[in-house]
Structure 1
Amino acid sequence: MSWLPSIPYPPSKDGFWSPVTSTLNWCEEDYYATIYSAEIVNTLTNLLFMYCAFKGIFNCIQNGHDRIFLITFIGYLVVGTGSFMFHTSLKYPMQLVDELSMIYTTCLMFYATFSYGRTQQYALVLGLFLMTLALSITGYYHYLQDPRFHQNAYAILTAIVLLRSMYIMELNIRPSYKAKERELQEASEGKKTLPAERERQDKRDLKILGSMWTMIAYGLLVFLGGFAIWNLDNVYCSNLRRWRRQIGLPWGILLEGHGWWHLMTGIGAYFYITWGIWLRHCLDGRQDEFELHWPRATTSLPMIVKRKVMNGSANGSANGFAKKTS
């Protein structure tokens, strides 16, 4: 690729934050671009994390989403900010902020998923358990200082929450699964849904499920793609460094695998939290009040927004019930 216009990579050197004290040092060469940032690409790619976090925070405030998701997006912002500071300095305290905030944010989603519909006592015990778990992971990781422990803990927590959320989604939204529960509820309330209204709700819920599975597939594809690139970056680091120097700047930036990991996992995590918001509204029976706003799958981020009220009530089910007669 010598035909591409480029400039040679400057040599690595000591920087403003030297020496490195973190237990990890990624494949990007240190302080080649500026003395004020140890890994410039790995640092700047965290700006997407921050952008997505602020987007999620403002969306939660403007549309009145549950507070737990606002707190989760704040935790998501801490992850991006901690990673920004870690890759800027390669200092061990900043590494802990980066990595442990991932655990704490996942614990928040764990709480949101497993506490829904439970008693206050259950939610309190779950909260204490997760707090103890997060502190135990923190203490043991600081003692062990083995990044694989953190990575495995994060992966296990994320997998549990993701699989549980999928199960809840199918069980509570798919019409064929919730039909019996709906009949019991109508019997206890003394009213029966009119056939036309039931058909409308079933079509609405099937459409929502299709959109949710599209979000899940898109988010997982992006997240796992970033994970694969990150592993390639670790395994073939020496080759990648050589190729980057052969190509030169700015094209060598495209071979910074850990930077791609930041971009892709940032998007994947945003999709996951946004899906959690929509799922919570559906579990609350508010499908007619909120909708997915996602104009283009490849160029925009999804948001859950309040549905515009037109021609009457927001729930769209006026005259949808008939009194039970004996």
Structure 2
Amino acid sequence: MGFTLPHIKYPTPRADEGYWHPVTSTINWCEEDYYFTIYSAEIVNTLTNLLFVYLGIKGIRNCLKYDHDSVFLVAFVGYLLVGSGSFAFHSTLKYPMQLVDELSMIYTACLMCYATFSFSKSQVVRQLLGGGLLCLAVFITLYYHYLQDPVFHQNAFAIITATVVFRSMYVMEVNIRPSLRAKWRTVPSKKESGDVTEEERLANEQRDRAIIKEMWIMVAFGLTIFLGGFGIWALDNEYCSIIRRWRHAVGLPWGILLEGHGWWHIMTGIGSYYYIVWAVWLRHCLNERQDEYVLNWPSYYFSLPEVVLRDDVGKGSWSRKARLNGYSKLSEDRKSV
């Protein structure tokens, strides 16, 4: 007899007894319906959305506390709505809740697209961009409701997200990296003047190179986690029947670890949070406020980043490991330009 971990046998799914029965969504997932409780169609897929709720509230709190641009406050509200909509969708598997879940993803992506492309543009350009994105969101909403094809939604979301990410990478490089911004920058400088000494200029370039390095680390972490979640989700869809057999073989609670769509929620939630924080930090750097704000990220592996006021650091973990935009704690009092 082979070794087995202590486990509980999987209960028999009770889809016909489910509180929200019948299923009306156009898509269902590999988690068996109503096996744990009759009040939630997919218990793991439901509860993993609580990470979105937590990080959404955290992001909203930080936007209000540290006076980040209002567009990011709205983005975190949209992020919170995505998690809440997904919670309701997986609890009920009802088509209206599916629309709340999936369309809120499109609207939040469009909002981040506006934040990325509108910065430093004239009011006329911002209005045209906003109107165009609004029309795009309405078109996707109506056409998706007509098709009721999840592949269309997934492709639309992927295209908008990829456009925003690649544009943000370009803006980051040409406006912050010292070797590129003099020739290619898209945002006019607010602080360059003849009063800046050579020593201060070199110090600022050192700071900005450190910021670029840490931004790319954040991009790498965010994309790796996000794409990893997508890969797990794809495997979950492709090999669902096999994975279900494995879950029943190992029993509960170990089978929960094989819920691929639940991992998708966790990993895309974290990856999306990384992106919004990156966008917040990039916006402050484009506004040349690197000496007012810092990226608080004590551990790459065991903490999540957040953008905070420089005056709020200097205690707690920062007293032992302070990374103030490329400078050690001892050089904190350098002259700001």
- TM-score bracket, normalised by the shorter chain, equals over 0.9
Is 1:200 aligned to residue 203 of structure 2? yes
- Identify the residue that residue 87 of structure 2 maps to in structure 1: 84
Deviations 1:224-272 (A, max 9, x none): 0000000000000000001101110000000000000000000000000
Instruction: Flag the 1:85–1:170 CA change in 2: closer, same or farther, 3 A.
Output: same
Matches within 5 A, 1:60-139: 60-139=63-142
Asked if 2 retains the 8 angstrom alpha-carbon contact of 1:219 and 1:272, the reply is yes
Question: Equivalent of 1:40, from 39, 43, 68?
Answer: 43
Aligned to 1:211: 214
Equivalent residue for 1:235, pick from 235, 238, 261: 238
SS in 1 for 2:311: coil
Q: Deviations 1:53-72 (Å, cap 9, x if unpaired)?
A: 01100011110000000000
Displacement of 1:295: 1.2
Ranges in structure 1 where 5+ consecutive residues have no aligned partner: 321-326
Letter in 2 for 1:155: A
Question: Alpha-carbon deviation of 1:192?
Answer: 4.1
Counterpart CA distance in 2 for 1:179 and 1:97 is 45
Aligned partners of 2:190 and 2:83: how far apart in 1? 49
* Counterpart residue identity of residue 117, structure 1: S
Is the 8 Å Cα contact of residues 225 and 267 (structure 2) preserved in structure 1? yes
Letter in 2 for 1:247: V
Higher relative contact order (CA 8 A, sep 6+): 1
The answer as to whether partners of 1:186 and 1:193 remain within 8 angstroms in 2 is: no
Inter-partner Cα distance in structure 1 for 2:333 and 2:148:
52
1:324 maps to none
Pick from 226, 231, 237 the counterpart of residue 229 of structure 2: 226
SS at match of 1:304: strand
Task: Provide closer, same or farther for how the CA distance between residues 317 and 47 of structure 1 changes in structure 2, counting only shifts above 3 A.
Answer: same
1:179 Cα deviation (Å)?
3.1
Hey, what does 1:317 align to over in structure 2?
Answer: 335
Letter in structure 2 aligned against 1:317: K
8 A contact 1:72–1:108 mirrored in 2: yes
Partner in structure 2 of residue 279 of structure 1: 282
Percent identity at matched positions? 61
Structure 2 counterpart of 1:126, which letter? L
The normalised TM-score by structure 2 is: 0.90
Label 1:186 to 1:272 Cα distance change in 2 as closer, same or farther (>3 A): closer
**Residue pair 1:2, 1:247 contacting (<8 A) in 2 also:** no
Q: Do 2:191 and 2:288's aligned partners in 1 also have CA atoms closer than 8 Å?
A: no
Match of 1:158 in 2: 161
Check 1:193–1:46 CA distance in 2 against 1; reply closer, same or farther (3 A cut). same
Tell me if the contact between 2:190 and 2:288 (Cα under 8 Å) persists in the aligned partners. Answer: no
- Secondary structure at 1:152's aligned position in 2? helix
CA distance in 2, matches of 1:260, 1:174: 35
TM-score by length of 1: 0.93
User: SS of 1:305's equivalent?
Assistant: strand
SS in 1 for 2:290: coil
Q: State the secondary structure of the residue aligned to 2:303.
A: coil
2:4 aligns to what? 3
When residues 74 and 316 of structure 1 are mapped into structure 2, their CA distance, relative to the original with a 3 A threshold, is farther
Please give the alpha-carbon distance, in whole angstroms, between the structure 2 residues aligned to 1:41 and 1:187. Answer: 50
Q: Distance between the aligned counterparts of 1:186 and 1:80, measured in 2?
A: 38
Q: Distance in 1 between matches of 2:162 and 2:189?
A: 35
- Measure, in 1, the Cα distance between the counterparts of 2:72 and 2:127: 18
**Letter of the aligned partner of 2:152 in structure 1?**
F
Aligned residue pairs total 315
Report Cα offsets for 1:185-239 as digits up to 9, x if no partner: 8999862421000010000000000000000000000000000000000000000
2:33–2:41 Cα contact (<8 Å) kept: yes
The 1:180–1:235 alpha-carbon spacing in structure 2 relative to 1, beyond 3 Å, is closer
Structure 2 SS opposite 1:193: coil
Q: Give 1:169 deviation, angstroms.
A: 0.2
Number of the residue aligned with 1:169: 172
Alpha-carbon distance in 1 for matches of 2:307, 2:190: 32
Structure 1 residues 317 and 188, CA, compared in 2 at 3 Å: closer, same or farther? Answer: closer
SS in structure 1 at match of 2:37: coil
For residue 59 of structure 1, the aligned residue among 56, 62, 77 is 62
SS state at 1:171 partner: helix
2:148 to 132, 145, 163: 145
